[in-house]
């Protein structure tokens, strides 16, 4: 398998993060610096900064109610990184990102293939947020947010936006542009003062306290895997 796939399958980090490690010269295969398209098998010795990686069949899946101020990175050189904050007994990595200034649901796992499918499926996976802005908004704002907003050279996909109160709305996205909601609100002259993610696909934050984590239930994991398998089958048919 390709080196980035191997690293992800080991639970060290995501495939995208693995590619950055290879590019930085932090990865060796049998003592030789790895390249972007290097191939490995189970007999090869893969090291990242001197740490030997091993594939494991035991996979863990947890969700964290991330507090504001925690950064979604596994780099131990970053103060307030999510891995040290969770302090899980096994090496996990976050599936995607949630801005340092934002709070709420994020999935962490050591299952690289599952993480890859969640992040890179062409089927837009729903992510739901509760957002508070700095001043009251009207129906025109809600309509504009839901119809699509220009961010650089991109028009955001249409989405569902509903009012919670005079300064707070609920939004369901199926794409993940960098700081998307904040940029969408800014386009209409609003500043986001609080952003909380409460759902990813079938996984709900519910009453999990800020700063706490829990394992996915068997039912949650089964539903997640089934949805990903169904999407994969549909992609293959197309």
Please identify every residue annotated as catalytic: 99
The residue among 102, 105, 108 whose CA lies nearest residue 84 is 108
- Phi and psi at residue 214, to the nearest 5°: -150, 160
19, 126, 176, 212, 231 from 121: Cα distances, Å: 19, 12, 12, 28, 8
* Contact criterion met (CB below 8 Å) for 173 and 159: yes
- Residues linked to residue 195 through DSSP beta bridges, in sequence order: 131
Cα separation, 133 vs 148, in Å, equals 18
């Amino acid at each position: 398998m390709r080196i980035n796939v191997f690293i992800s399958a080991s639970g060290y980090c995501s495939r995208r993060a693995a590619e950055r490690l290879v590019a930085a010269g932090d990865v060796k295969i049998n003592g030789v610096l790895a390249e972007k398209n290097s191939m490995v098998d189970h007999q090869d010795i893969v090291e990242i900064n001197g740490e030997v990686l091993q594939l494991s069949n035991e996979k863990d899946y947890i969700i964290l109610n991330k507090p504001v101020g925690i950064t979604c990175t596994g780099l131990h050189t970053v103060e307030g990184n999510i891995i040290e904050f969770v302090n899980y007994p096994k090496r996990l990595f976050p599936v995607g990102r949630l801005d340092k200034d934002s709070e709420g649901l994020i999935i962490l796992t050591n299952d690289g293939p599952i993480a890859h499918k969640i992040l890179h499926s062409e089927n837009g996976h729903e992510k739901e947020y509760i957002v508070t802005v700095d001043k009251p908004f009207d129906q025109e704002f809600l309509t504009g947010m839901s119809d699509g907003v220009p961010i650089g050279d991109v028009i955001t996909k249409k989405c569902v936006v509903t009012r919670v109160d005079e300064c707070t709305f609920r939004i369901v996205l199926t794409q993940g542009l960098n700081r998307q909601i904040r940029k969408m609100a800014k386009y209409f002259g609003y500043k986001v003062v609080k952003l909380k993610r409460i759902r990813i696909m079938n996984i709900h934050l519910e009453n999990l306290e800020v700063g706490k984590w829990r394992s996915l239930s068997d039912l949650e994991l089964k539903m997640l895997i089934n949805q990903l398998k169904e999407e994969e089958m549909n992609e293959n048919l197309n």
